[in-house]
Structure 1
Amino acid sequence: MDALAGLLEGPRARGAFMIRACFDPPWAVRVEDRAPLTVMLMVRGDAWITPDTGPPLRLRAGDLAIARGPDPYTCADDPATPPQALILPGAECSYPDGRPLQGSMDLGVRTWGDRLGGSTVMLIGTYLMQGEISGRLLDALPPLLSLPGDVWECPLTSLLMEEIVRDEPGQEVVLDRLLDLLVIAALRAWFSRPEAAAPAWYGALADPVVGRVLRLLQDDPAHPWTVASLAAKAGVSRAALARRFSELVGEPPMTYLTGWRLALAADRLRASDATLDSIARQVGYGSAFALSSAFKRVYGVSPQEHRARAADDAPLVGARP
């Protein structure tokens, strides 16, 4: 598993919020859902995404934008248009004054807005989960990024348009996987652009020595790795590996491995009921005590506290506008 796949491996989309939005100007929607990641794909017309801090971003047909949570933003036909609806955590929807919309903007299966033939059509996919595995990648993204249609053609637009309005058994799972594919394709395209400022580990994956070591660590974190054993696998000396890994990744191999193991543990605490001892063995710690000590040192809370907080913060994935 490479580090880009780490965004979606583990806490993949599960019951993600996906919708086709159809509007006629003037329109504006205020988004305060605190979702970790939202993808917006323009199918027809134009839109502006205006974060609370930073300049507005214009989207034209064929453009794609990704908003990294939890900061709020407004999506509208024009930055000056006042919001007509408010999106809250759990995909709940209300008027700006707090009154529930109660389906007044529903236009059919996963379709929402003014009218089906609206001059603006946007496909929106929102991840409602939190996951520590994806933290390294999400931290590398700006709060708002875009891929213009003239430099990147989305390979999934027509399929998404067909599938998003289907109401068949298993359809939610189909849409979850399509959203995963859309995000992976978009992030690959984004990180290939010079303005993306990709994180050090992303570029290091292409290195014949460090890239191999990164994949070894990511694929088998429970193995009792040492710098010596990693160097032997990579066919270099310990000193050469330590120097090259630190230069390209920004930290020593064992420091990276510790961070990866703890990220895995944090996500498994959030996503499963497995015992702490079981999770410790899965991620390379010899005991629950060893994992707990390392976890608290890095995260500032015990594994049990982390799991309890995750349960308290869990979104209401069944809610829909």
Structure 2
Amino acid sequence: MDVLAGLLDGPRARGAFLLRMVMEPPWSVRIEDRAPLCLMCVTRGEAWIVPDGGGDPVLLRPGDVAIARGPEPYLTADSPGTAPRALIGPGGVCRTLEGEPLAQSMHLGVRTWGNAPDGGTTVLIGTYQMDGEVSRRLLDALPPLLHLPADAWNCPLMPVLDDEISRDEPGQSVVLDRVLDLMLIAVLRTWFARPGAAAPGWYRAMADPAVGNALRLLQNEPARPWTVASLAIACGVSRAGLARRFTELVGEPPMAYLTGWRLALAGDLLRGTDATVESVARKVGYSGSFALSAAFKRVRGVSPQEYRSGALPVGS
């Protein structure tokens, strides 16, 4: 498993919120669902995305795709100047700005919603709900709003999603989740591989034979008692050479990267399972609960038990 695969293993869609939005101008929807990540594709017409906080509006045309990284709100509209007429809150609940429900009045069929059945604009929307340390490492590498025009990426999955999203057949939610996952992977690979892209260090480093191999080893076997020397031997390079090259490409030394990865895995296990701190520690590469607690307090500012209970680090 490479680094991107490892990070994407966390935010896999499970019962993701998927919708086909069909609109006729004038229209504008304010999104306040606080979803960590939302993927949007235009299949017909045009749609603007207007971030809060002064970000530049982005125009989506047919074949374009965008990813909005929450939890900041934003508008989708026929024009940046159109005032919002509906609001999407947490859980996909839709209402007017005065609080009146719109779910029934704008229902147009299976996973289809809008103000006109034959509206001139169609947008496919897939929303991920992810909450974890591993997922956060991926989200932190993305801009608040990512946009790929149709001519910048080559993915045959948009018509598949368009065809499947309104079906109501056995196992359909799983089909949609997997198609959405594949689209997300295709978008991220294209985004990070763009000429001049400010891709994170761990992504760029995967192309380096020695450092890429080291990253895969740390990613796949975090519980192994790694040292820079043992990692260098496994990669067939010198210790000094690996340490220098790894730090240069990834932006931090190998053992610092390993600590961050181990604690991210531990954080997700602590909040996502009922495993004991001792078993979590051994699973991610620490000798026991005391060693994990020391690392957790040093890096996160709280103990594993405090983190599990929802406590925030000092200063958060």
Query: TM above 0.5, one fold?
Result: yes
- Please tell me the residue identity of whatever aligns with 1:308: S
Residues 181-225 of structure 1: CA distance to partner in whole angstroms, max 9, x if unpaired?
110000111111135300111111110110000000001101111
Determine what percentage of the aligned residue pairs are the same residue: 67
Q: 1:42 to 1:102 in 2, by over 3 A?
A: closer
8 Å contact kept, 1:90–1:128: no
Per the alignment, residue 21 of structure 1 pairs with: 21
CA distance in 1, matches of 2:39, 2:253: 34
Correspondence 1:101-140 to 2 at 5 A: 101-140=102-141
Give the 3 Å change call, closer, same or farther, for CA 113–299 of structure 1 in structure 2: same
**Which stretch of structure 1 is more off in the superposition, 300-309 or 122-131?**
300-309
Shift of 1:102: 4.1
Give the corresponding residue for 1:5: 5
Structure 1 residue 296 displacement after superposition: 2.5
For 1:7 and 1:42, how far apart are their aligned partners in 2? 27
Contact 1:191–1:198 (Cα < 8 Å) also in 2? yes
* Ranges in structure 1 where 5+ consecutive residues have no aligned partner: 311-321
Q: For residues 40 and 93 of structure 1, what CA distance do their matches in structure 2 show?
A: 17
Q: How many residues align?
A: 310
Larger RCO: 1 or 2 (CA < 8 Å, sep 6+): 1
Matches for 1:144-183 after TM superposition, within 5 Å: 144-183=145-184
Please say if residues 36 and 127 of structure 1, whose CA atoms lie closer than 8 Å, have aligned partners that are also in contact: yes
* Offset, 1:45: 0.4
Q: Name the CA distance, whole Å, in 2 between partners of 1:7 and 1:22.
A: 33
Matched residue type, 1:283: V
| Cα distance in structure 1, aligned partners of 2:270 and 2:176 | 26
Would you identify which runs of 4 or more consecutive aligned residues in structure 1 move more than 6 Å?
none
Q: Which amino acid is 2:139 matched to?
A: L
Relative to the length of structure 2, the TM-score reads 0.94
Q: Quick check: 1:11–1:271 contact (8 Å CA) kept in 2? A: no
Distance in 2 separating the partners of 1:299 and 1:105: 45
Letter in 2 for 1:5: A
Task: State the 1:305 CA deviation.
Answer: 3.0
Bigger shift: residues 296-305 or 252-261: 296-305
Q: CA deviation at 1:62?
A: 0.6
- What is the correspondence of 1:153-302 to structure 2 with a 5 Å cutoff? 153-302=154-303
TM-score, with length taken from structure 1:
0.93
Tell me how far 1:67 sits from its aligned partner. 0.6
Amino acid of the structure 2 residue aligned with 1:12: R
Aligned to 2:33: 33
What is aligned with 1:94? 95
Cα contact 2:11–2:128 (8 A) shared by 1: no
2:50 aligned with 1:46? no
For residues 276 and 6 of structure 2, the distance between their equivalents in structure 1, rounded to whole angstroms, comes to 23
